[in-house]
């Protein structure tokens, strides 16, 4: 019923529905952490980092001399990596992470892909690490940041699922909620005007052709219902230093808590 109402409103009030969709994209929801995720967050050294209008929550779990930086997905947060963090610490890593603008325990406000991605570039420089792990949309933000900062040199980069074309996400949202093509076009124009996002050029498979990464690997569940595996495969096909690992039986979120994946990440980094 809600989809039918939005579809009707898209025809009658296209500007209002465009503004509604824009606000949804610019204001991520914050989801509760599991108990073990909260326990891992409690063990971190914390720092508030000023970035534009945001107070960004940074985390450090001190381990050995090896370092790695974790980049969560849209509407995710650092705690989502809790099981991976434990394994990294056991393998002698010092782990860095953050909650993106308006995500997790960072301050709230309107944000966008460009805010998120620009911050990732800033934090890679701050932490001075050459190992990265991203989940989901974090792959878009990270490849965007690396493409925009070609002097950043990364030795190993693990992507645990990744989208490819940002416009595909807009198409999915439009289909899911009932937005028509006129509103979708107005939304793309509004994103470009108000947040400097050229949606049609935000393609991970294009970014990776130029990024300064020596070696990469993508893990993706073949039955992922959030991001189809073909999108990760297309990224890998366009990235000559990238391996691909197909996983089964985890889904989009549980993949972060799956022993097979965690062991594969540690083995690859080591």
Q: Which residue has the tokens 């990744």?
A: 162
Residue 220: inside a domain: yes
Please report the pLDDT score of residue 3 as a whole number.
63
The percent of residues above 70 in pLDDT, for the chain, comes to 96
Decide if pLDDT at 204 tops 60: yes
77 backbone dihedrals φ, ψ, rounded to 5°: -165, 170
Q: Which residue has the tokens 């490819």?
A: 164
Please report the pLDDT score of residue 1 as a whole number.
45
* Residue 185 belongs to domain spanning: 2-54+74-144+162-269
Confidence of residue 177 (pLDDT cuts 50, 70, 90): low
E strand segments, 21-88: 45-51, 54-61, 66-71
C-alpha span between 234 and 18 (Å, rounded): 30
Q: What is the pLDDT of residues 233-255, one digit of tens each?
A: 999 999 999 999 999 999 999 99
Residue 68: inside a domain: no
- Domain count of the chain? 1
Q: What is the pLDDT of residues 141-153, one digit of tens each?
A: 999 999 999 999 9
Please report the pLDDT score of residue 219 as a whole number.
98
CATH code assigned at 97: 3.40.50.1820
Residue 82: inside a domain: yes
Residue 108: inside a domain: yes
Q: What global pTM score does this model have?
A: 0.91
Q: What integer is the mean pLDDT of 17-32? A: 76
């Amino acid at each position: 019923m809600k989809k039918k109402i939005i579809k009707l409103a898209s025809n009658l009030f296209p500007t209002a529905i465009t503004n509604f969709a824009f606000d949804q994209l610019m204001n991520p929801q914050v989801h509760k952490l599991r108990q073990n995720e909260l326990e891992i967050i409690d063990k971190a050294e914390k720092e508030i980092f000023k970035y534009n209008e945001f107070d960004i929550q940074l985390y450090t779990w001190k381990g050995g001399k090896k370092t790695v930086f974790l980049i969560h997905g849209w509407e995710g947060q650092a705690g989502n990596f809790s099981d991976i963090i434990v394994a990294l610490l056991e393998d002698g890593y010092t782990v860095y992470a953050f909650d993106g603008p308006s995500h997790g325990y960072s301050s709230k406000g309107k944000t966008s892909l460009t805010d998120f991605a620009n911050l990732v570039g800033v934090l890679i420089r701050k932490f001075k690490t050459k190992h990265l792990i991203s989940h989901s949309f974090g792959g878009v933000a990270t490849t965007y940041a690396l493409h925009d900062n070609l002097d950043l040199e990364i030795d190993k980069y693990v992507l645990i699922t990744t989208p490819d074309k940002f416009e595909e996400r807009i198409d999915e949202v439009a289909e899911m909620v009932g937005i028509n093509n006129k509103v979708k076009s107005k939304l793309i124009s509004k994103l470009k005007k108000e947040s400097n996002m050229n949606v049609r050029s935000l393609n991970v498979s294009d970014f990776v052709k130029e990024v300064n990464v020596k070696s990469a690997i993508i893990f993706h569940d073949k039955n992922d219902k959030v991001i189809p595996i073909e999108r990760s495969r297309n990224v890998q096909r366009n990235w000559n230093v990238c391996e691909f690992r197909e996983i089964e039986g985890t889904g989009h979120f549980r993949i972060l808590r799956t022993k097979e994946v965690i062991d594969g990440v540690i083995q690859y980094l080591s």
